[in-house]
Chains A and B, each alone.
Chain A
Amino acid sequence: MVAEKVFTQLRRGTLEFCVLALLQGEPRYGFELVKALGEVDGLVTTEGTIYPLLARLRREGLVETSWQESESGPPRRYYTSTPEGSRALAAFTADWQRFCTSVDKILQSGRRG
């Protein structure tokens, strides 16, 4: 299946921006982020791979982390978007919309023709 490969690549490339989008406005802890991403259809196939992704975003300075105690379980590592993360997200969002519009246009013209 050719499309499957394409979507694997697309997921890999876009997931970090989905993470950044979820972190705009509010900090979230790892488990909460993973659940939020998992609820969306077709976005995450292996939840565990989100943790290496989060670690990379932190190394790149796009998110910041802080520890907070939890009443019900272990201490939680909260993630917040940095200003740099928000800028990267804004830039991606603009490009992504243009990209989607272009692809949609071609796909639809193909259907009509």
Chain B
Amino acid sequence: MSMELDSDRLVDAYLNELATEAAELPAGRRDELLADMKAHIAEARAGGATSEDEIREVLRRLGRPSEIVAAATDGLVRVEVPPRLRPRDFVAVGLLLVAPYLLSFSGLVAVIGWGIGVGLLWTSNRWTVVWKLVGTLTWPIGYAAALFLDAFFQAPIWLSLLADTVITIGLITALALNARAPRQAS
């Protein structure tokens, strides 16, 4: 009984180490490798390798997990996926989001900040023209909504500001989520 448990522990430790080493592999390959190794060990045990020493020998013959994963990595072409958002794109999104709120602090800073954000947005290859328009019009749309609420519904100022904030955050979030890394030639 305790012999079984010791063997189980050895096998578990081995498979855990393998899973850790295999973390770098694409999911499909990793799962297949782990399943194959599990089946191999189960097959060896069903074939009579039960004692701790026998299990140790089975695992020794299989080899170190790092070697096995290295064999699975062999010939694997690593494709570098460009990030969807680069630092400059984060700056663009950040400025478009924050610049309108700088208006009460300094109109000039707000306009310059927003202008830089728009410039970065339009020179980026992460967005389609439609999304660039959305990003550019976010401030005017939010502002217009606030004015509209104020003028036609005599809404309290906090409500207008809230509507503006919700629209701004919503549109800028959508903008950030709809960034696309350019497709690479393969």
Contacts and interface: CB of A to CB of B under 8 A. Distances in A.
A73 B62 contact: no
Nearest to A75: B39
B67 interface: yes
Given A48-B62, A49-B67, A55 B43 contact: no
Given A47-B61, A55-B32, A74 B39 contact: yes
B64 A51 contact: no
A49 B46 CA distance: 21
Interface in B36-85: 36-40, 42-47, 61-65, 67-68, 71-72, 74-75
Given A31-B44, A74-B42, A52 B63 contact: no
B29 interface: yes
B33 interface: yes
A34 B40 contact: yes
Nearest to B45: A73
Contacts of B65: 48
B118 to A, nearest CB: 47
- The dominant DSSP class at the A interface is helix
A99 to B, nearest CB: 22
A53 B72 CA distance: 7
A98 interface: no
- The dominant DSSP class at the B interface is helix
Contact of A30 (B39, B67, B72, B75): B39
A46 B67 CA distance: 8
A38 B61 CA distance: 9
A49 B66 CA distance: 10
A55 B72 contact: yes
B43 A52 contact: no
Interface of B: 29, 32-33, 36-40, 42-47, 61-65, 67-68, 71-72, 74-75
17 contacts: A30-B40, A38-B61, A47-B40, A48-B63, A48-B71, A51-B33, A51-B40, A51-B72, A52-B29, A52-B74, A55-B36, A55-B72, A56-B74, A72-B46, A72-B47, A73-B39, A73-B42
Interface of A: 30-31, 34, 38, 45-49, 51-56, 70, 72-77
